[in-house]
Structure 1
Amino acid sequence: MDKSSIHFAKGCGQGVREEIMDILDVHNMALSEKYLGMLTDVGVSTNGAFKYLKDGVWKKIQGWMEQTLSTGGKEVLIKSVAQAVPTYSMACFRLPRGLCQHIDGLLRKFWWGSKEGKRKTCWVAWEEMTKPKYLGGIGFRETELFNLALLTRQAWRLLTEPDSLSARVLKAVYFPERGFFGSRT
């Protein structure tokens, strides 16, 4: 229990904090802004909150741009590294559409490359490139659709395992009177 810590929302009063800490026998409060690489408080401004994802993808791609890579090498780097950077955050939050489009744009620019600071011609539409290989595409993930798929998986878990701890906590916080489909959040 000495290694455990608890994080409270900004609006939680000091008396409630102390009472919960006594009940749980946890005496350390987490004050960090990040937990498991994600921000602990997203708030209303989601574009600013998820800027670290855009920066993380850009940092990966920027290091690769200086190297001469084959198309197979670029494909592997995009699929296994660049598209994996935002995966954990996408499983927990719905990312803004503009951020998803920006990340896809970074990946497109890296794929088609540039010469002397000028972008090369894009010979195939991104929609074609996101198709599975057996349908003639390359198999890149469309960021926004992948985000929705991950969140749908979380919803499926809530519906199929209603007695799990996470399902009970989310029900108590977000939809105590109604069912999952009756909630607005």
Structure 2
Amino acid sequence: MCPESQEVISGVSGIQQTCDLDRYIGMPVFQKRLNKETFGDVVARVSARMAGWKGRVLSMAGRLTLTKAVLSAIPIHSMSTIVLPNTTLDKLDQLSRSFLWGSDG
């Protein structure tokens, strides 16, 4: 599409044009090779959610429920469209295990 047409469409619709899409509905729009840094935000969201919980004061059943219901649900949207790298899956498993067993790591 020619640049003049893009400007006309942008002006009529009121939508700013861009070449860098970055994210759409919380998922990165891939314009490069996938690596473990691409899904670092998934690991960061799980870590941030766990930071607010006091794992030491919860019972084992409470930690298990939080791990199954909340921590496992966070990456589901990402995993519904693409296979996450093994390093990201391993890190998510490590975070879940450490919270479940009461580790401070």
Distance 1:42 1:84, change over 3 A: farther
Shift of 1:42: 5.6
Superimposed CA distance per residue, residues 105-128 of structure 1 (whole angstroms, 9 cap, x where no aligned partner): 0000001113xx5x7xxxxxxxxx
> Percent same amino acid at aligned positions?
26
Moved over 6 A (4+): none
* Residue ranges of structure 2 left out of the alignment (5+ in a row): none
Q: What does residue 97 of structure 1 align with?
A: 86
State the structure with bigger RCO (CA 8 A, min sep 6), 1 or 2: 2
Q: What does residue 57 of structure 2 align with?
A: 68
Residue 97 of structure 2, aligned match among 104, 108, 116: 108
User: For 1:42-57, what aligned pairs fall within 5 Å after superposition?
Assistant: 43-57=32-46
Count of aligned pairs between the two proteins:
99
2:51 maps to amino acid: Q
1:15 aligns with 2:2: yes
Q: Give the TM-score normalised by the residue count of structure 2.
A: 0.75
Q: Give the TM-score normalised by the residue count of structure 1.
A: 0.45
CA contact (8 A) 1:56 1:85 kept: yes
Q: What does residue 83 of structure 1 align with?
A: 72
CA contact (8 A) 1:46 1:95 kept: no
Q: Computing the radius of gyration over CA atoms, which structure comes out larger, 1 or 2?
A: 1
Residue 29 of structure 2, aligned match among 19, 40, 59: 40
Cα RMSD between the aligned structures?
A: 2.7
